[in-house]
Amino acid sequence: MKLDLTHHRPEFLQAGLSRDELDDNPFKQFKLWFEQAEQADVINPSAMSLATSDGLEISLRTVLLKYFDEKGFVFFTNYASKKSKQMDENPQAALLFPWLAIERQVKVSGRVERVSTVESMRYFASRPKESQLGAWASHQSSILPSRQLLLSQFEAMKAKFKQGEIPLPDFWGGYRIIPETIEFWQGRENRLHDRFVYQRVDGVWTISRLAP
Ligand SMILES: Cc1cc2nc3c(=O)[nH]c(=O)nc-3n(C[C@H](O)[C@H](O)[C@H](O)COP(=O)(O)O)c2cc1C
């Protein structure tokens, strides 16, 4: 069996990116591109690939960016999941926003920190009740013998937390990726794409153009 995709030759003709249109502050630049992705109806612009490694194995998955500011990019997950074990072992990670409909990608790499319990509580409390129960019901990344078991765990949690607020599970919360580099990529004609990387050196952001 073979699938030959050599005839797939996407062209990138929508826009260019020059140094003088970049904000000196990479967070402001990210915010601008994020808003443009939303305006262009990119599907799930907050979906980002998260790459982690414990030093032996590399793994990758999609998570949802919940907020960002100059402190970093925050998402929430199960602290016993594979990604969490890898980040706890090796607190470095990379993110990728694949905004392919507008021929853009943004790459982020940096240090990882757990957010405070108060911060996780604040976000957890804002989630719909069913998502809160879902967090309680799933032992994320462990082998699950059947979907039926997951549904019965969900029902058990529903019964357990019938009354009042659903508390934050102690195995669930946020991580913040504190960027050391942020790269903005804009597809161009003839594969001569525009790439600019911001790098934080001694607390100051420098900007360099990279070869495509
Ligand atoms: C669009 C999308 C959004 C997702 N958002 C999250 C998220 O915010 N947090 C999360 O833990 N998993 C999220 N997932 C599921 C993860 O991709 C992954 O399956 C799960 O976190 C287990 O990953 P791990 O075993 O590598 O730890 C999302 C998946 C998709 C496709």
Report pLDDT digits (tens) over 60-82: 999 999 999 999 999 999 999 99
Question: Which pLDDT value is given to residue 123?
Answer: 98
Confidence band, pLDDT 50/70/90 cuts, at residue 166: very high
Question: Which pLDDT value is given to residue 92?
Answer: 98
pTM, two decimals, is: 0.97
Confidence band, pLDDT 50/70/90 cuts, at residue 142: very high
In the chain, what are the domains? 43-127+170-210 (2.30.110.10)
Q: Enumerate residues 6+ apart whose C-beta is below 8 A from 108.
A: 73, 94, 95, 96, 177, 179, 181, 182, 183
Measured by CA distance, the residue closest to atom 18 of ligand 1 is: 61
Q: Which of 76, 44, 59, 103 is nearest to 172 (CA)?
A: 76
Question: Which pLDDT value is given to residue 116?
Answer: 98
Question: Which pLDDT value is given to residue 27?
Answer: 98
Which residue of the set 104, 176, 191, 195 is catalytic? 191
Q: Ligand 1: does its nearest atom lie under 6 Å from the Cβ of 109?
A: no
Q: How large is the average pLDDT for residues 23-49?
A: 98
Q: What is the dihedral of CA 53, 54, 55, 61, to 10 degrees?
A: -20
Which tokens belong to 68? 């960002």
Question: Which pLDDT value is given to residue 69?
Answer: 96
Q: Ligand 1: does its nearest atom lie under 6 Å from the Cβ of 82?
A: yes
Q: How far apart are CA 169 and CA 138, in angstroms?
A: 11
Residue 204 identity:
V
Question: Which pLDDT value is given to residue 177?
Answer: 98
Q: Are strands 92-99 and 72-78 parallel, antiparallel or unpaired?
A: unpaired
Would you call 127 a catalytic residue per the annotation? no
Q: How far apart are CA 94 and CA 11, in angstroms?
A: 26
49 Cα–ligand 1 center, Å: 9
Residue 74 identity:
V
Mutate to test the pocket of ligand 1, among 53, 66, 75, 77 (most ligand atoms within 8 A of CB): 77
30 Cα–ligand 1 center, Å: 22
Q: Which of 138, 122, 133, 209 is nearest to 173 (CA)?
A: 122
Considering the chain, what is the average pLDDT of its residues?
A: 97
